[in-house]
Chains A and B, each alone.
Chain A
C-alpha cells in the first residue's frame, strides 16, 4: 500500500469526504461531467449521421435537395406547426453543444492543474486522435459558428439566396476558403469521433474487455463514414459533378 511519507502532516489532515447526492453531486464529479460529455456527444453524433445522409441528397438534383430542406421545416406536420420540429432539434443541439463545451472546458482545466510539472524525459504519448481532442473540439466549435453563419443565416455567404439551399451549397464550395474551412473541419470531426465514440462507451460503462474490438471498429467506421460522406459534397462541387 502507498506509504504516508510525511510524518509531520497526518494529524492535521481532514477526514475522508462523503459524496454529495443529487444533481450537484453528479455535475460536481469528474465521472458525472464526463457522462454529460458522453451523452451530449452521442446526441451530436446521432445528429451528424442524419445530417450527413441528408446532405447526400444533393447528388439527386436541385429539386430533391431543396424539397428535402423544405421537408425539414414541415417535419411532424400536421401534429406540429411549421418549423416546430426543426426548432426542437435546434434547442436540443444547442443544449448538447453548450453542455459538452462547458464540461470539456472544466474537465480540461482540472486535468491540467492535476499535472502541473512535465517530465524532463519526453516521449510520444497516446494516439493522434486522442491527443487532438481538445484542439479538435475548439476547431469544431469555431466551425459550428461559421457553418451557421454560412448556410443557416447566410450572413457570410456572399451569393446566397433564401430558400435555395442547393445553390447556396454550390456557392460555398466555389470559394477556396469555403472548401478549406470545411475540409479541415470534417477531418477534425473524423478524428474527434474516432476517439469520442469509443470514449463515450467507456464513460457510460458499456465497454468491457470482450466488446473492446467491436467498439473500436464501430468508432473507426463511424468516423470514416462521416468524414467521407461529408467531404463527398465539396469534392463533387469542385470536380463539377454537382453544380
Chain B
C-alpha cells in the first residue's frame, strides 16, 4: 500500500507544532499501525531527519502506552488500541491524519507524545486498597458475589490509555476515573476506603484541569476496553453517597 500521512510534529512543549505530510510506500495490510510508523521513522532516520516520537510499550493491547488520534478517532477506526490496529483497516492511496491526544491536562511533550501523569496522580489520590502485606490470603476468606466480581472485572479492564479524554469534547477524565473507582468500590477489599476514594479521586481529577461530563458518550465509544458510559453514573452515585455519609 501507498499512503499519505499527515502527522503532528512539535519539537517540544514550548514550541508551536504543525501537521506535516509524509508519503510512505510498501506498507503491508498485515502491519500494525505502529509498524507502519516504524517504517516511516526508519526512512526519516536514513534521510537524517528527526523520527516521529510516539508512545508504545507492550504492543499487545494491554499496557495503555500507545495513543494517537487517527482520522479524528482515538486509537483509530477499530475498537482497539493503536498497537492492535492493522493497516488492513485502510486502503491504498488513503490520506491518514495522525494527531496526539488533545486535552490541557495532557500537554504535548513532543510530536505525538503527551504527558499522561495526571492519571497517575488520580490513582495516587485513592486508586489503591490498603492491605497488610505478607503471604497471599486464602482465596475463600473473602467471598465476593458473582455479580460484584463481574462488575469489578469489567472496570479493572481499563488500561489507563486516556482515549476517553482524547475523544471527549470537554477533555473529561470521568470514564477513566469511574472505571478505577467502580473497580475497587464494589469489592470488600475496597470497602474501608470507599468514601475517601471517590471523593479524593474526583477532587484530584478536577484539580488536574479535566473537564466535566456532558454525557456525550464519545469516551465510551472510543474506549478500547469497552468501559461503558453508565460507569460514570455509577461513580456519580458513589460520590453522592459518600457526600451523604461524610455529613454524619
Residues on A lying within 8 angstroms of B by beta carbon are 1-6, 10, 13, 15-21, 25-26, 28-35, 107, 110-123, 125-126, 130, 133, 195, 198-199, 201-209, 212
Contacts and interface: CB of A to CB of B under 8 A. Distances in A.
Interface residues of B, number: 75
B117 A115 contact: no
B6 interface: yes
Interface in B153-207: 159-162, 168-172, 196, 199-200, 202-207
B200 A113 contact: no
A16 B115 contact: no
A117 to B, nearest CB: 5
A115 B103 contact: yes
B2 interface: no
Nearest to A196: B215
Interface stretch (B33-41, B67-75, B130-138): B67-75
Nearest to A209: B230
Contacts of A125: 169, 216, 218
A206 B215 CA distance: 14
A110 B69 contact: no
A1 B116 CA distance: 9
B125 interface: yes
Contacts of B199: 19, 21, 25
A205 B122 CA distance: 21
Interface stretch (B85-93, B141-149, B238-246): B238-246
Contact of B233 (A26, A118, A195, A207): A207
A66 B156 CA distance: 61
B51 to A, nearest CB: 16
Task: Name the residue in B120, B123, B209, B228 with the highest tally of chain A Cβ atoms < 10 Å from its Cβ.
Answer: B120
A111 B215 contact: no
Given A1-B160, A5-B113, A16 B239 contact: no
A114 B209 contact: yes
Contacts of A202: 213, 215, 229-230, 232-233, 236
Contacts, number: 195
Given A20-B203, A209-B230, A114 B170 contact: yes
B233 A208 contact: yes
B121 A205 contact: no
Contacts of A126: 169, 216-218
A20 B246 CA distance: 11
Given A16-B125, A115-B169, A204-B240, A5 B102 contact: no
B212 A110 contact: yes
**Residue from A4, A19, A113, A205 having most chain B Cβ neighbours under 10 A:** A19
A197 B22 CA distance: 47
Contacts of B170: 110-112, 114-115
Given A6-B115, A111-B170, 20 more contacts: A1-B119, A2-B65, A3-B117, A4-B117, A16-B121, A17-B204, A19-B199, A20-B203, A29-B206, A29-B239, A110-B212, A113-B209, A114-B105, A114-B171, A114-B172, A114-B210, A202-B232, A205-B238, A206-B233, A208-B230
Contacts of A117: 102
A16 B201 CA distance: 9
A6 B117 contact: yes
A26 B243 contact: yes
A66 B230 CA distance: 46
A30 B218 contact: no
Contact of B97 (A120, A133, A195, A209): A120
